[in-house]
Every structure is written in structure tokens, then in C-alpha cells.
Structure 1
Amino acid sequence: MRIAVIGDLHYPELTTDNQFIAGARQGFYETFMERFFSIPADIYVSIGDLTNYGTEEELKNIYSIIRRHGKQFVHVLGNHDVYGLKRKEVLEITQQQRFHLVETDSAMLAFLDTTREQDLNDCGGVLDPIQQEWLESVVEYSGETPLLVFGHHPIYATTAKSHEPMHYIHPHVQIQEILQKKQGPGLYVNGHNHYNSIALRKRWTFLQIAAVLDEQAARIIEISDSLISIDSIDLSDSLLEEQAKVIGDAINHFSLRVDPLGTDADMKHLIPLVPATKKTAAKAASMVNL
């Protein structure tokens, strides 16, 4: 199984102050998404902050680009995606699920919503009790089968910057304790902090992905019988880099990074696997799309 993942995209709405970026916005996002969906993969994932402020214009515009490619696409909600509209309105426009489980022959994929709806004072992550209970049941159910969890915010004190205020899921959420109940290998994938980072904690690998305006790239997660491989594909060229700088310098609620986005060790990683216990189809059906 092959999964292609992008970091925070921050598709912006045009305002009276940034009308001059209209051409750069159209060129950049259409080209980047075309290259992203051209990567051979079974599923394509945005790790959140697909939009810059979650307005109706932003959501409809970026989804008009996404839908023309006809790929299986999962949009994990990021805090920026639920600033302008309520979560229910965002999900109606995107036709995505707030949180859900997908089971394949190779692994289980759990997608979370770690956002605070329309909270402009705290951009940090949370996980409501319903999802905590659901995630715990998923972890238990997965047994030794590889489990990949996708959430916009990182787990506290794992990946780069995840110890800084509002750069993690709040520690009062017992998510670390839930994840550590995993019997087999686990991979947690997040964005939010706009830095590439890989961290190891017991059975879990934590993968953080930089923002697309800072780095025009995608992560490829490939799962075989013997390992999970993490790699990076560069999708940039000089024109995309120039357009990204024009956009990043002009929009609100976003700042381009001027420091390094990570090291070579934060770009690739291998997770060895052992044969997983097979689950029955009946039990699988009971867990999907809860």
C-alpha cells in the first residue's frame, strides 16, 4: 500500500490587500496539486490546514482543483480549516468525515480531528472524549497489525517544536497513554508546526511534515509485509518556489520559515514489521466509519 501525504497547504482567499497574488495563487496550487496527484498512490492525504482561514471561497476553490483529479483524498481537519466556518459547514462543503477508520490488507488508518472550532486564541490541539474512546478501541482492535494515525497536531514532546505552547495536543488529553497500549508498530503523522521531524517513542514513530509554501514536497508512506518506508518526493521547481514566496509573504495567518526545515534524518525512515494477526471481516466491518 502506498500513501501520499502533504503538509499544511494554506490555500488563501484573495482580499483587497493581496489581489496581486491571484496569478501566483492559481499557478502555484494548480501545478502543485497536479504533481501531487500524479504520484502513484492508493490514497492521498492532507494533514490539515488545507486552507488558510477556512472560508467558503477557500474551501470551494481548492476542492474544485482536488476533485478534477478523481483520486481517493482524505482531508484531516487543521485549526485553520475551522476558523471561518463551523466544523459542520466545513464537512458539508468538503464531503469529508470528521474522524474515521480505514482498514486495508496492509494496515489500519485512523484519521482524527484535533481542532478547536473557531478558536482564534488557542491554535493548540485537543481530542474530545468521544474520539479518545474511539481511538482506544481502534488501538486495541488493531493488535499487532500496523496502525497509522493521522492528526493535524503533534503529540506533546515528540516531533520538533511540539513542546512549545499551542504546538501540540494538550497533555490533559490521554492520547500518549492510549497510543502506548498498541501491541504492534504504530506511526503517527502530523503537520501544524511547519517543520520536518521524525521521532521514536517505544513502538511508535512520529512523523511531522513541513508546510507546502515552505517546501514543495510530498511524503510517501509505503507498507509492505516486512516494513513501512517513509520517503520524500521533491515537487518543486524555480517557478513554484517563486510563486510560493509571493503567496507566503502576502497572506495573513501564515509566515514563511527562514530557518532550516529539518535534517536529512527527518526525511526518510524505515520501520521493520513482523507478520500481523489477521482480523475477521465481520469485526473489521463493525469498526469502519464509526
Structure 2
Amino acid sequence: MVVSDLGRNGHYDQKPVAATMGRIAEQIGPDAILALGDTHHYGGVESVTDPLWMTNYELIYDHPELMVNWYPVCGNHEYRGNTQAVIDYSGISRRWEMPARYYTKTFEDDGTTVKVVFLDTTPLIDKYRKKTDTYPDAVNQDTEAQLQWLEKTLTEATEDWIVVVGHHPIYAYTDKSESERTDMQKKVDTILRKHNVDMYICGHIHNYQHIRRPASKIDYVVNTSGSLTRTPKEIEGTVFCNNSPGFSVLTADKDNLKLNLLDKEGKTIHVVSRTK
């Protein structure tokens, strides 16, 4: 399961979406949940004992079938607070598994392997590095080290499917600063295209968008918010867009990789599908 932009203290559609996640999890038995940033709006968390861990996360996603491992990344809102606490919470919660700011996890089932590469995108975007009062920890991160790690990781990858995830989009419709996307295109997309990854999945924009770009074989997907959404518009390469809150479900076998985009009732409204 893939979620993003969750934390609204249970308001808007966060609780209904969480309930649907539990119901769907009962049916499919997910291996894990990928959390693509902004688990905590608006100012991140101050510590591993911040009450927001309860009101944004633990008491909301309380269904027994959601007690699987969650693999998160930081979003820009986490960077407004204590980002190290987001990592350190792995030592508090039995299901929060964040070993570093960027990392990989390989999933295997019936002989099929999927490598998920988790990126820390906020420090890769110059506007956040310049706003040291608002995002104090962004400028402290070594951008080149992360990009060199990404290059090495993808060079050495041998899994059947390669999925890269992060908080910020490479391509998307949004009224947010265009520099966010251009920085991601220059720094990240060039590496992803070089290695022909299968999908790049992100959050940040609070709606669903599936985009294919000329001269790229990658499926670029914006995952919707699990609480409060915004209305998207089509851009060049848009295959699908929708403002429903919800979450997605990633499945794979040797021949097929599918990302099912679900609304808050659990209905599949679009499928991103790749075949070998």
C-alpha cells in the first residue's frame, strides 16, 4: 500500500480513508505500507514523544491489518521540524521502519523481486535549502552524496522491477514553485532515465496524477493525499488525474507491475500498468 500527505489530526478525510485502508488491508494482506512524506502537517514533529505521533498516526491507522511495517520518507513539512526524530521514531514504534533519510527495501514474493528506492527529496530542491529559517535542516544535507548513492544503487540493481519513491514530483500540475520540478528533473530524472526505472511515485500535490513524458519509459505517478486534496489539471503527458482522497496498492509478478489508485471508498479509479 502507498500513502502520502496524511497528517491532519484526523480531520478532513483522514479518518474515512484510514478506515478504508483497514478494510482493504483485511482483503489483500499488504506486505508493507510506503509513506511518501508529510505524515505530519504543518510543522513536523519536535521529538519522538511529540503528541502528533498519536493524533496524526498511531490512533488513526489503528486497524490490526495496518500493523505491518511502514517505510516512510520525510516531506517538506517534516523538514519544518525535527527530521532526526522522524528517523529515531523507528526505535519507538514497532511498525515505523526508517533506517536513514534515504535507503532501499527489496520485496520478494513467489520469485518476483521489487526494489523500492526511497529518496529524501526536500534537500534536493534549492528553494528549501535557501529558506534556513523555515527548513533549517535542509541545507545541512549532502545533496551530492545522495545523488551518487542513487546512481550506484541503480547501477547495481538486479531486481525484476525498480520503483523509486520520494515526496516531491518530477512532473505534475501544481501551482507550487516550478523550480521544485525543474530541480528534480535536473538532479533526479536524468539518473532515473539513464537506468530505465519502472516507476517514480511521489506525493506533495494532494491529488492523483499519472504522467508519461516523451523520450522516457518511466511512469511518473503523484499519489493522492490521505486527507485533504486539491483539484488537478491536465498537462503535457497526463494519462490520468483526479482529486479524490485515497491511497494506492502496488502489486507485482514476473510479467506485470501495477499501481492501483483507490478513492476513499476503496474503488479503483485508475491502474498504472507495466508489462515485460
TM-score, normalised with respect to structure 1: 0.66
Corresponding residue number in structure 2 for 1:93? 89
Check 1:6–1:119 CA distance in 2 against 1; reply closer, same or farther (3 A cut).
farther
Corresponding residue number in structure 2 for 1:108? 115
Corresponding residue number in structure 2 for 1:230? 259
Given candidates 221, 227, 232, the residue that maps to 2:250 is: 221
- The CA distance in 2 between the partners of 1:127 and 1:170, in whole Å, is 15
> By how many angstroms is 1:233 displaced?
2.2
SS in 2 for 1:88: helix
> By how many angstroms is 1:8 displaced?
1.1
> By how many angstroms is 1:54 displaced?
0.9
Q: Structure 1, residues 13-69: CA drift from partner, whole Å, max 9, x if none?
A: xxxxxxxxxxx64x9645532431442221111211111021322234334234764
> By how many angstroms is 1:143 displaced?
4.7
Amino acid at match of 1:70: M
> By how many angstroms is 1:110 displaced?
0.7
Amino acid at match of 1:131: Q
Check 1:133–1:223 CA distance in 2 against 1; reply closer, same or farther (3 A cut).
same
| Larger Rg computed on CA atoms | 1
Q: Structure 2 stretches of 5 or more lacking a match?
A: 92-97, 230-243
SS in 1 for 2:194: coil
- The CA distance in 2 between the partners of 1:48 and 1:32, in whole Å, is 16
Q: Structure 1, residues 225-266: CA drift from partner, whole Å, max 9, x if none?
A: 1111122223349xxxxxxxxxxxxxxxxxxxxxxxxxx6xx
Over the matched positions of the two proteins, sequence identity in percent amounts to: 18
Q: Structure 1, residues 109-149: CA drift from partner, whole Å, max 9, x if none?
A: 11111124776379x99981121111111111125731101
Corresponding residue number in structure 1 for 2:166? 151
> By how many angstroms is 1:217 displaced?
1.4
Check 1:10–1:234 CA distance in 2 against 1; reply closer, same or farther (3 A cut).
same
Q: Structure 1 stretches of 5 or more lacking a match?
A: 13-23, 238-263, 274-290
- The CA distance in 1 between the partners of 2:8 and 2:119, in whole Å, is 21
SS in 1 for 2:37: coil
Given candidates 70, 75, 85, the residue that maps to 2:72 is: 75
Matches within 5 A, 1:1-290: 4-12=1-9, 25=11, 29-38=14-23, 39=25, 40=28, 41-52=30-41, 53-55=43-45, 56-65=50-59, 66=61, 69-83=66-80, 85-95=81-91, 96-97=98-99, 98-105=101-108, 106-116=113-123, 120=134, 128-143=143-158, 145-155=160-170, 158-161=171-174, 164-165=177-178, 167-168=180-181, 170=183, 174-183=187-196, 185-201=197-213, 202-212=216-226, 213-214=228-229, 215-236=244-265, 267-273=270-276
Aligned length, in residue pairs = 225
